[in-house]
Amino acid sequence: MPVDKRALETERIQILEKVRETVNYSREQFKLLRRKRPFVIVVCGAFSTGKSSLLNALLGCHLPTGHNPITKRITRIEYGAFERIVLEDREKNREYEISWEVAKYIILNEWRDDCMESLQIRFEIPSVLLKMGVVFVDTPGFEDDAEEKLDQMTREEIARADFCIVNFACNHFGDKYERAFLEELQKLTNGNFVMVLNCSNYLSGLRDLKDVEKRADMILRYFGNPRIGYGKYFIVNSEGEHSDLDGLDGWLEGIIRRHAKAIQSDVLCARTMAAIDSMLEEGKESFYGSMNLIYTIREADLKICGMEIREIERGNHEKVREFHNRQKQVLNEFEAELLREIRGGLSNIEAKNFNDKAFDAIGKAMDAYAKNLHKKISSLFPETASVFPSIGGVHMQMTKAAHLSRKRSFFDIDRYTLGAHEYYYNDYLAATMKDIREVTVPGFRIRLNQYFEAAEEKLIKNLCIQRIRGQNQRIGDCHQYLQNLCRELLELKKNKLAFLSFQNELAEN
Amino acid sequence: MDMEYSAMIVYAWMAGFEELNWDYSFQEENGSIIVTDVMANNRLNKFNIFVKCRESDCIVTGVIEQETPEHRRDSMAELICRINYGLIFGSFQIDYSDGQVVFSYPIDVEDGILSGKMITNALVIVCGGMRRFGDAVLDVMEGKKHPADAYKTAVKM
């Protein structure tokens, strides 16, 4: 099966980065465990279920509410010595005090402008509950946004929360989306949340109330934890002046007084452990994926290499075919070219001491020809570069004996006048060329063939080596990635153990 | 501090143990993974497994908790010699200083990867060795049998 190398590379880099991020995140979270920080309670739930009015009833603040208004912006409610509303610009690190009308305008309108994202509204009120170091966060309702941007904002706040109040409408709650959300919340907060069934004023009577209670007992009993209690919920009416919180305020105050620190640590541990677990799972998949990739490469390598070698043997490999063509061309042209070069060298030699001079000239011409040919072949097929440094010189050494035995009878100028062989020695240049054609050129051809055979062998070997090197490189990359990934995953496991032991400590205390 | 062991080998072992649902503990400082209380299904009852991970190999060791008394260590050495003679994978070893008997199986992972199959095989071999010869080791340790008899009984089983 073909493997998309580039996609795999990107995927591996992304996963490694994600694991590293999770390692850093878990380290930071562990540092946070020991630090004192405000207890953040996020109020969340479906849209138009009375989250803002619940906060108004609980804290006595004045978040914009009504039948139609729907919160579009995250709003924080903190303790302040006197009541005021502050607009925070987190990007510029500035604060502006604003009027209620301006705050309402900003909270109830959905701003598409990106610059508005850095703005956050903060209500400061002198509440006893808030003075205990609690910060409430009002969020936009779920399913109130086609682009799911508000959902995302709310989820981000939940991911930072220490405790959640999940708001449902009393008359209709518990659909599959709400249950899925509760399950997600159970994991994220380790059950540190309470459910509020709001708008009890819409129930027509006691019978309806009992029905709601029965339904709530059935649906919500799995959510929570031993500290908060399982299936803990309040049926409240947060609307208007005659609000009824069913003891939620008192219960919340009690929980904060007794368990705030424990809940903070518990939620932080649970959230970080969830992140670590999901990353460990993803890392494990990537680990096995990369191991399988190594197997695949090796298997494919064997197959491809085998095929390639067979192709080379058949002479079907492109590069080898090209080499054969070049070889054929060189062999066709070689005799004419070599003879031309030798004749050129010989024509300038004087008759005196012709033999010795001719012998040198032939050697030089052959050397030059061989070097030139080797240069050409090496530039065309660099894999063959180190075959032989020279062909001609070696050939001359081989055939020197033959030349020496024949040169006296052919080239000796001193015998030119002897008469008996006058006809034969009439043209010593022609005689030399005849000798070269009959002895030197065939000998050189044999040597040339040997050169080409060795070059071809070298070429094939190098092609295979290149191929194997490429695959080894890929396997090496995989190994390197696996080493890095495993190192980070071990670190992540170590951090998980630290969180686990902290949780155990917490449980013991 | 640089690790003296391969993170990949350690992680492969951890993942392997997790796949098998075995509880383990990891000693980060020396790259050892320890599994305690592995069932032996013989008189040994339980034994421990140590996996010592290094740069390019790892050694899986099954450790018998009981130690051989000093006066029976020679007999134990004889039994171990008899057992090891027929073994293809792994070997029994005795520490003469404290009389501890272990079954050791090394895995070479140089230039390769430690697959799940290799891990399972190693565990099967170590557990198999312990289960097959555990009784013989205990018999000699307790002086109940002569090494030759103990070996014959174990081989016949």
Write the pLDDT tens digit of every residue in A421-446: 443 444 666 667 777 777 778 878 88
Of A291, A294, A483, the CB nearest to B6: A483
3-state secondary structure of A290: helix
Per-residue confidence at B60, pLDDT binned at 50, 70, 90? very high
**pLDDT score of A264:** 85
**pLDDT score of B95:** 94
Q: Tell me whether residues B8 and A490 touch, CB distance under 8 A.
A: no
| Average pLDDT, integer, range A151-166 | 83
Instruction: Please indicate if any CB of chain B lies within 8 Å of the CB of A406.
Output: no
Q: Kindly tell me if the per-residue pLDDT of A458 is higher than 90.
A: no
Q: Kindly tell me if the per-residue pLDDT of A392 is higher than 70.
A: no
**pLDDT score of A376:** 85
Q: How many helices (H) and strands (E) does chain B have?
A: 4, 6
The string over A410-432, giving b where at least 16 C-beta atoms fall within 10 Å of a residue's C-beta and e elsewhere, is bbeeeeeeeeeeeeebeebeeeb
Least confidently predicted of A302-311, B41-50, B88-97? A302-311
| Average pLDDT, integer, range A28-47 | 85
Distance CA B61, CA A174 (A): 55
**pLDDT score of B83:** 94
| Average pLDDT, integer, range A141-146 | 60
From chain A, the residues in CB contact with B26 under 8 A are 490, 493
- Residues from B in contact with A at Cβ < 8 Å: 3, 6-8, 10-12, 14-15, 26, 28, 113, 115
**pLDDT score of A401:** 46
Per-residue confidence at A5, pLDDT binned at 50, 70, 90? low
Q: Tell me whether residues B8 and A493 touch, CB distance under 8 A.
A: no
Ranges A12-16, A328-332, B57-61, most confident: B57-61
Residues B110, B57: contact at Cβ < 8 Å? yes
**pLDDT score of A417:** 43
CA of A290: which chain B residue's CA is closest?
A: B113
Q: Is B33 exposed, middle or buried (0-12, 13-18, 19+ CB in 10 A)?
A: buried
Per-residue confidence at A228, pLDDT binned at 50, 70, 90? confident
**CA angle (A172 as vertex; A168, A175 as ends), nearest 5:** 85
State what percent of residues in chain A have pLDDT above 90.
5
Distance CA B25, CA A120 (A): 47
Does ipTM top 0.90? no
Distance CA A458, CA A455 (A): 5
**pLDDT score of A424:** 41
Per-residue confidence at B32, pLDDT binned at 50, 70, 90? very high
Instruction: Please indicate if any CB of chain B lies within 8 Å of the CB of A494.
Output: yes
| Average pLDDT, integer, range A457-486 | 82
Per-residue confidence at A347, pLDDT binned at 50, 70, 90? confident
**pLDDT score of A295:** 81
Of A376 and B138, the structure prediction assigns the larger pLDDT to B138
CA of B11: which chain A residue's CA is closest?
A: A486
- pLDDT, tens only, A38-73: 899 998 887 777 888 888 888 877 777 766 656 777
Tell me the shortest Cα–Cα distance from A496 to chain B, in angstroms. Answer: 13
From chain B, the residues in CB contact with A493 under 8 A are 14, 26
The string over A336-354, giving b where at least 16 C-beta atoms fall within 10 Å of a residue's C-beta and e elsewhere, is eebbebbeebbeebeeeeb
Q: Tell me whether residues A487 and B14 touch, CB distance under 8 A.
A: no
Cross-strand pairs, B47 = B38
Q: Which two tokens stand for residue A111?
A: 């701003």
**pLDDT score of A191:** 86
**pLDDT score of A370:** 83
Instruction: Please indicate if any CB of chain B lies within 8 Å of the CB of A490.
Output: yes
Least confidently predicted of A182-186, A215-219, A435-439, B66-70? A435-439
Q: What is the mean pLDDT of chain A?
A: 78
**pLDDT score of A148:** 61
**pLDDT score of A501:** 87
**pLDDT score of A363:** 78
**pLDDT score of A66:** 64
Least Cα distance to A166 among A154, A148, A153 occurs for A154
Least confidently predicted of A66-80, A183-197, A250-264? A66-80
Strands A163-169 and A193-198: parallel
Q: Kindly tell me if the per-residue pLDDT of A145 is higher than 70.
A: no
Distance CA A173, CA A220 (A): 11
**pLDDT score of A6:** 62
Least Cα distance to A144 among A76, A52, A75, A71 occurs for A71
- What does the DSSP assignment read for A334-394? HHHHHHHHHHHHHHT--STTHHHHHHHHHHHHHHHHHHHHHHHHHHH-GGGTTS-S-SHHH
State what percent of residues in chain B have pLDDT above 90.
66
CB pairs under 8 A between A and B: 35
Per-residue confidence at A113, pLDDT binned at 50, 70, 90? low
State what percent of residues in chain A have pLDDT above 70.
80
Least confidently predicted of A482-496, B3-17, B49-63, B105-119? B105-119
Distance CA A252, CA A165 (A): 10
**pLDDT score of A76:** 86
Of B52 and A97, the structure prediction assigns the larger pLDDT to B52
| Average pLDDT, integer, range B86-92 | 90
